[in-house]
Amino acid sequence: QVQLVESGGGLVQAGGSLRLSCAASGRTFGISVMGWFRQAPGKEREFVAKISRSGGITDYADSVKGRFTISRDNAKNTVYLQMNSLKPEDTAVYYCAADPKQRFLYSDNGYDYWGQGTQVTVSS
């Protein structure tokens, strides 16, 4: 079992930055692929970024490449999402997710555990 709690969301102007954190409890964090997803109002949840259990492999949605960086600290059981050059279209609820089976998928079907989400609002 993995329990996830996101933090760090808020209101920021376009061009600004935010750093999201996802604190995990449970013994499987260290072996889990971790992902960030987001869901804007009226839209389906979409993949943002993922990171392998060691942190050595990362991948991003095209819409955030070059602006967002995913990282993890296994000693602290925490995964991060550094978001720079934010745009109004980045406005969404951001969720972290864990996949102890290490499938490393883009689909949210590939993640077994989810946090409750943190709101990010980017004003123009």
Q: Which residues contact 1 (CB under 8 A, 6 or more apart)?
A: 26, 28, 113
Q: What is the pLDDT along the chain (124 residues), one digit of tens a residue?
A: 889 999 999 999 999 999 999 999 988 888 899 999 999 999 999 999 999 999 999 999 999 999 999 999 999 999 999 999 999 999 999 999 999 888 888 888 899 999 999 999 999 9
For the record, the structure tokens of 75 come out as 């000693």
Over the Cα atoms of the chain, what is R_g?
13
- Residue 116: predicted pLDDT: 97
Cα dihedral 39/85/79/49 (nearest 10): 50
